[in-house]
A and B are shown apart, each in its own frame.
Chain A
Amino acid sequence: MKNILLEIKTSVLALILLTLVVSGAYPLVVWALGEAMFPHKANGSLIVAKDGKALGSELLAQSFTSPKYFHPRPSAAGTGYDATSSGGTNLGPTSQKLMDSVKAAVAQYRAENGLQAGTLVPADAVTSSASGLDPHISVKNALLQTARVAKARNLSAEKVAALVEKYTDRRQLGIFGEDGVNVLKLNLAMDGIIDQ
């Protein structure tokens, strides 16, 4: 019994001491280093307008529905693109609900972009991302939207396609991950808010 009390005392002291180190000193050190070395990234990679107003984060998707914008992937975060409530649909492969929504999304995507009968819809365009905040769409998806956006903006398809190319994040170091088009940055670039 005395031993147990002794171990409890050691436990409490060790808990306090170690917590001070791993929960106090450690995050502060990382924070200080982060602020010094990567302040933009450490603070959310925010896109700030000239007037100082935050427009979003480079890394987080926002809702876009009008024809003149590229549309991000469907989102199940909160009521949609809610950056305080990230998440997916959590619907499984035999879910009626999922297939209903995919079916609707397919129909909408085909209609919006005037897809030919034989053209298949890119999977990422009609499925919700894991976070609901996926900043990217596939290049295939973006190119299928290019004609619509160009038409809505009275721009040449080539010009839009060039922008798509510019805001495509290629495989990192040529190997890692997959290509993706950053929708928010692309849309803001087309609005002239960030560099074209």
Chain B
Amino acid sequence: MNNLNSWMQLALFVGVLLLITKPLGLFLMRVLDARGRTFLDPVLRPLERLTYKICGIDPAREHNWKQYTAAMLIFSLVAMVTTYALLRLQAALPLNPQKLPAWPEHLAFNTAASFMTNTNWQSYSPEATASYFTNMVALAAHNFFSAAIGIAIAAAVVRGVARQTMSTIGNFWVDLVRLTYYLLLPVCVVFALFLISQGMIQNFKPYDTASLTEPYTTQVQKTDDKGNPVNDAAGKPVMIDQKVDTQTIAEGPMASQVAIKMLGTNGGGFTNANAAHPFENPTPLSNFIQMLSIFAIGSALTYYLGRMVKHQRHGWAVWAAMTFLFLAGVFVLWRAEAAGNPIMTQLGVDPADGNMEGKEVRFGIFNSALFTTITTDASCGAVNCMHDSLTPLGGLVPLFNIHLGEIVFGGVGSGLYGMFVFIVLTVFICGLMVGRTPEYLGKKIEPYDVKMASLVILILAWDILGFSAWASVSNWGPPDPVTHAVTNGTNNNGPHGFSEILYAFSSTTGNNGSAFAGLSANTPWYNTTLAVSMLIGRIAMIIPIMAMAGAFARKKIVAESVGTFPVTGPLFATLLVGVILLVGALNFFPALALGPILEHFLMLTGKLF
């Protein structure tokens, strides 16, 4: 951590993030206003009008919270079913130069749920499973929609807070269309071109084959005529030598997909290694801009919040609370990874290099730590290092970030609407201490609001803890290739194996999508339960939050005075951080104690599993 250059990169990151927050926030004000004007109007206004006309959308008609939520759910469901169908039919669809086969039911369900919910958990290995058509149409389209929907929901919530004695909170279709056309598309075109300039691929050609300068021999499992793996009498795989003299290089339309994957905090990789893959994140600069793009919209939304409620300092207080939690995560993770693994040090590995297992040289310890914190602060889930190979405390950070509800800038939109729940809770718990019944921006927090906020926290805890508990007493993994015995699918034993299971359901509930990727989760049980936890984590969160938005819109605004609970300034930001940490710690400390915390102490004693 005593690396000046890393500190400079961190300062630069926070500085640039701060710098883009206001302009992007102001731009959001225009995009999220059905009559807002932008510099893109000459090109996009006709397209927008055409879209409304074809789809039969009346942009002047606003929805109440139930109509808004219903429209959102119906659209999501239609899109999810479509994706499921496209995945099941992959073999029959175009743009499939590798002739990849159709997907099994549970994997298609898991993936459709995953992309619809902005999770982008990938049970599949992209290069080996997904055709270009699948990537572009079935998956990348969701990257746009789920991102636009997240921002739309956040906007609806903000409108609910800002308005008074009204029943409507905007028109879902207008928000969806305008966000896609005016915000996501234009930024992505520029962003994608930048990524190509850094070395990212964007083509439609078949995979390339390169001749190896130094061919080598490796051992693979023997397969019979039909391509099935062959085992010996004892059930052990029969291994045969295979000469390798070529390297097949996966290709495809990557840049266009990665741009929206990052900007929309989707995180679903074009490749299995995701943003660690040299194509998918070629340079440190592409890494920097990708990290920035994860936070960009979430950060701008705090400005949008401040603007809309005419209380800009409140927006900045929320921004500050998020930044504090972000930096706290970075420091713990960075420190843990830089300290390295004492067991490796004993084997003669240089401890000054830190823990390089599962990391890329061009990013090093710091940029891996930074990316990991960011991707889990937000519900992005792209990874530029392997979370499974992080040190225990290093792995604790992404896990805990997800447990906090991913409200540190968060997934586009979902970060802010998740934060809204914590703000309401903070105001409710601490608000009484100023001697008034709690109020947020002049709106009294009533039993209904607390019920909905509690429900969100309850669902978050229940979804993660319930499923991971179930999984940890079950064996949902693939059968052992040698013994054919049932397994739990973990790639590691001891507490780390438990962490893999916990991380999986945390990631899916939080709609994050990153993984302790050692877990072999591409099995019917895992795919199904993970998909269900993703759907709960998205839909069962949005509904109560939208109900709160509706309730807030109907409320009257109580006048502000020096006797009002302050929602600006360092005190409020501190309280917000305190409540977030406390709720997260109370709900998940026991789980974390049995996973990363226990593993940390075992690692210090040199224990291996």
Cβ-neighbour of A44 out of B173, B249, B257, B364 (below 8 A): B249
- The answer to whether B273 and A11 have CB atoms under 8 Å apart is no
Stretch at the interface among B133-141, B424-432, B566-574: B133-141
Q: Is A154 an interface residue (CB 8 A)?
A: no
Given A14-B55, A37-B197, A178-B367, CB of A83 within 8 Å of CB of B218? no
- The answer to whether A94 and B74 have CB atoms under 8 Å apart is no
- The answer to whether A14 and B177 have CB atoms under 8 Å apart is yes
Q: Report chain B residues within 8 Å CB of A53.
A: 211
- A: number of interface residues (CB 8 Å): 108
- The answer to whether A175 and B204 have CB atoms under 8 Å apart is no
Stretch at the interface among A129-137, A145-153, A155-163: A129-137
Q: Is A196 an interface residue (CB 8 A)?
A: no
Cβ-neighbour of A130 out of B181, B386, B494 (below 8 A): B386
- The answer to whether A130 and B358 have CB atoms under 8 Å apart is yes
Q: Is B561 an interface residue (CB 8 A)?
A: no
Q: Smallest CB–CB gap between A78 and chain B, Å?
A: 9
In Å, the complex CA distance between A44 and B82 comes to 31
Interface string of A157-196 (1 = CB under 8 A from B): 0000000000001011101111010000001100101000
- The answer to whether B343 and A59 have CB atoms under 8 Å apart is no
- The answer to whether A90 and B78 have CB atoms under 8 Å apart is no
In Å, the complex CA distance between A134 and B56 comes to 50
Interface string of A18-52 (1 = CB under 8 A from B): 11011100110111011101100111111101000
- The answer to whether B608 and A138 have CB atoms under 8 Å apart is no
Q: Is B607 an interface residue (CB 8 A)?
A: yes
Q: Smallest CB–CB gap between B502 and chain A, Å?
A: 13
Cβ-neighbour of A136 out of B272, B344, B361 (below 8 A): B361
- The answer to whether A133 and B353 have CB atoms under 8 Å apart is no
Interface string of B54-66 (1 = CB under 8 A from A): 1111000000000
Q: Smallest CB–CB gap between A119 and chain B, Å?
A: 9
Q: Is A121 an interface residue (CB 8 A)?
A: yes
- The answer to whether B608 and A88 have CB atoms under 8 Å apart is no
Cβ-neighbour of A94 out of B128, B199, B248, B492 (below 8 A): B492
- The answer to whether A34 and B202 have CB atoms under 8 Å apart is yes
Given A7-B71, A15-B79, CB of A83 within 8 Å of CB of B361? no
Q: Is A111 an interface residue (CB 8 A)?
A: no
Task: Contacts A92-B499, A94-B609, A96-B608 known; list 19 others, CB within 8 Å.
Answer: A4-B70, A11-B71, A12-B78, A33-B193, A35-B202, A41-B197, A60-B247, A62-B210, A63-B244, A65-B214, A77-B273, A89-B357, A90-B516, A91-B518, A92-B599, A124-B353, A133-B277, A175-B8, A178-B363
| A residues neighboring B (CB under 8 Å) | 4, 6-15, 17-19, 21-23, 26-27, 29-31, 33-35, 37-38, 41-47, 49, 53-66, 69, 73, 77, 79-96, 98-99, 102-103, 106, 110, 120-124, 126-138, 140, 169, 171-173, 175-178, 180, 187-188, 191, 193
Pairs across A and B, CB under 8 Å, 19 listed: A7-B71, A11-B75, A15-B75, A27-B202, A29-B189, A33-B196, A37-B196, A43-B205, A54-B208, A54-B249, A80-B218, A88-B358, A90-B388, A92-B599, A93-B392, A120-B348, A123-B344, A123-B357, A178-B284
